Structure 1
Amino acid sequence: MRSVARAILIVAPSWIGDTVAAHPLFVRLRQHHPQARIDVLAPPWVAAVLRFMPEIDGHIIDNPFAHGQLRLKDRWRLARELARRGYDATYVLPNSLKSALIPLLAGIPDRVGFTGESRYGFINVRHTLDEKALPLQVERYAQLAEAPGAPLARPLPKPHLTVPPETVAASFSAHGLAREPAPVIFCPGAEYGPAKRWPERHFAELARTLAAQGRPVWLLGSKKDAPVGDEIVRLSGGAARNLCGVTSLSEAVGILAGAHYVVTNDSGLMHVAAALGTPLVALFGSSSPLYTPPLSDKARVIWLQLSCSPCFQRECPLGHLNCLNQIEPNRVLEEADTLPTK
């Protein structure tokens, strides 16, 4: 592999949280290749997060291929477009075979990634994952900046999003939201499935308590989370305001940056809030904070570590969801009271 690249293409993950977790890799690549142009091939729903990473100073190129789609002719056309951009190296973060196909077709000389789905030939600068040595997702991505077999350089920078104050102000004003008193933000969704979602009744009870203290409570998430948000508003008697699906991702980032603190499931917005340095309480059930924790000194994690968790299932296989049902709102409020200020 070339010692210094002139143009680098990142093939980004399809999840917001994974994209945030890739930021330390981008920092390392900028250190190793200070003059290189760094472009990213990314799905449109994660592009807004990338725009808050100053290391990404090139183009964010739309990756239009949904999970499972081959569309070989369309991939070939995109590969030909990328070939004209003259990349020296590409870093393929997803482990799927299809994610490595476009860089191969584009003829990019150095194609860096984990072997993944037997991607011999597709990936020609191959890393072998040592899960014990690299338990965290951020470590695994950052490892790709090193030569295969070389140890990960430590200490590793934490993910960080840089949001200008004017972006924060514009995000609030776009929806007629007052910045004072600063709101508590709930992120009640989880794209992976209901086994990662704290119950709506618990969010509602916490919203009523905070509203009684004079603290605004707003809900952030995607359009898919809007029904969950509506139920929380109903159960709370209107103590919360549902913004799920109302804001763009860029506006959600700005609002999270201006929050008093955040209460969140293990979700992409959890990682966004942590990277912003916003205080947060993260609730883990079917997943594990040993793999994808919020990497922030201003985060508190509640994980009951029941014998049945983490199961990493989309729905509770036992039908009770005790790993989240048994996290009481008072416990969350107690943790929130220990949070540092921004």
Structure 2
Amino acid sequence: MQSVLPTRLVIDLPNWVGDQVMALPAIQRLVDGNAGGETTLHARPPGRRLFEALFPSAAVVASPPKASPIASARRLCRGSGRFDVGITLRHASRAKICLRLSARRSLGSDGDGGRLLLTERYPVDRSRHQVFDADPILEGLGLSSVDPRWRPALPLALVEEGARVLRQAGVAWEGAVGVAPSCARGETKRWPAASYGELARRMRARGLEVVVVIGPGEEEVGRQVAAAAGVPLPIAGAASDVAGLAGVLARLSVLVCNDSGPMHLAAAVGIRAVALFGPTDPRRTGPLGDRHLVLSRDLDCAPCRAGCCPVGSALCLRELPVDRAERAVFQLLDRG
């Protein structure tokens, strides 16, 4: 496809926080490449404020997660009509239907109905890290491949907001170690709350400030970690959206986490992560950069990429030793 930029461009963004963060370098290429044109980002409500902060030159339209493709297309086209070019960074057929209705030329992956629904389709190389999924689209538009080293500049207002959230939770000083026990996509991707609690107890015993980082609706797992620790632990983030969570993470020194949105968000804002992997493949969805440590167990069945453990034991994460996570935290702290 010959480049058509600058133009009226709509970019349909992923649903899940981790996928949104991994798409940021591609979004940056597209927004910059369409300078002089008109760019609209189609997001989900929890991520709207983050995209508005990171890409102020673009308009952001938010559709509810359960909105039909027709309703989302109407919301996107309200006032100005259909876009000249549309790109979806989601692979679902619903996203491609919405895009076909919203734009005269539609680009996306060739799976999940892409061959029928889109005017231009591109293959996804799943042997590479997910951050590169949009490279064929960028190439087709005459743009450079994503730079996996690119990091967004988080506005100072969000960093200060994160500091306020931590202070209100009772975190006494900056540079605390965070533990993020949640994961929105599958119980098998979660290290047990009891293990997070034991890790927090050990770090507190060694003089570290520890905070449990959660999101809306995750209060119960936060309480489980605090109870397992057996010592008072501040819990922060229950009222934060994605932008607010980015601000909270930006004030930490290290985050211990599952393969999750907070893991990718921490890496994006420059915070070192101890990432705990079980059924998923860190070569595909691991934290980007060399400042992080990925822990996993060497099992024949891992990574299986299954949402439900096929052997019923979930040993890949359930029996990942707390000792290893503790050593990894201090290894990252010792690097300075």
TM more than 0.5: yes
Choose 38-47 or 28-37, whichever is displaced more.
28-37
Q: Check whether the contact 1:53–1:161 (CA below 8 A) recurs between aligned residues.
A: yes
Residue pairs, 1:193-342, within 5 angstroms: 193-243=186-236, 245-339=238-332
**Aligned position for 2:154:** 163
Higher helix share: 2
TM-fit CA distance, 1:131: 3.3
Q: Check whether the contact 2:171–2:234 (CA below 8 A) recurs between aligned residues.
A: no
Change (3 A) 1:249 1:179: farther
Q: Distance in 1 between matches of 2:233 and 2:134?
A: 37
- 1:283-317 deviation per Cα after TM superposition (whole angstroms, max 9, x unaligned): 00111101101002211101213111112222323
TM-fit CA distance, 1:216: 1.9
Q: Distance in 1 between matches of 2:148 and 2:183?
A: 26
TM-fit CA distance, 1:2: 4.2
Matched, 1:59 2:64: no
**Aligned position for 1:128:** 123
Q: Distance in 2 between matches of 1:278 and 1:37?
A: 33
Choose 95-104 or 260-269, whichever is displaced more.
95-104
- C-alpha RMSD over aligned residues: 2.5
**Aligned position for 1:94:** 90
Q: Check whether the contact 1:179–1:258 (CA below 8 A) recurs between aligned residues.
A: no
| Secondary structure in structure 1 of the residue aligned to 2:117 | coil
Residue type at the aligned position of 1:77: R
Residue type at the aligned position of 1:92: T
Matched, 1:186 2:174: no
Q: Check whether the contact 1:283–1:302 (CA below 8 A) recurs between aligned residues.
A: yes
Residue type at the aligned position of 1:131: R
Q: Distance in 1 between matches of 2:238 and 2:296?
A: 28
Q: Distance in 2 between matches of 1:61 and 1:305?
A: 43
Q: Check whether the contact 1:79–1:105 (CA below 8 A) recurs between aligned residues.
A: no
TM-score, normalised via structure 2 length:
0.89
Q: Check whether the contact 2:126–2:284 (CA below 8 A) recurs between aligned residues.
A: no
Report sequence identity in percent.
Answer: 24
Q: Distance in 1 between matches of 2:73 and 2:195?
A: 49
Change (3 A) 1:52 1:261: farther
TM-fit CA distance, 1:109: 2.4
Q: Distance in 1 between matches of 2:40 and 2:146?
A: 25
- 1:248-267 deviation per Cα after TM superposition (whole angstroms, max 9, x unaligned): 33222111001011000000
- 1:47-88 deviation per Cα after TM superposition (whole angstroms, max 9, x unaligned): 23323423x52211011242xx6474x345325417x15633
Q: Check whether the contact 1:277–1:296 (CA below 8 A) recurs between aligned residues.
A: no
Which runs of 5 or more residues in structure 2 are unaligned? none
TM-fit CA distance, 1:115: 1.8
Which runs of 5 or more residues in structure 1 are unaligned? none
Change (3 A) 1:244 1:255: closer
Q: Check whether the contact 1:15–1:46 (CA below 8 A) recurs between aligned residues.
A: no
Query: Which of 158, 165, 172 is residue 163 of structure 2 equivalent to?
Result: 172
| Secondary structure in structure 1 of the residue aligned to 2:138 | coil
Which aligned runs of 4 or more in structure 1 are off by greater than 6 angstroms?
none
How many pairs does the alignment contain? 332
TM-fit CA distance, 1:113: 0.7
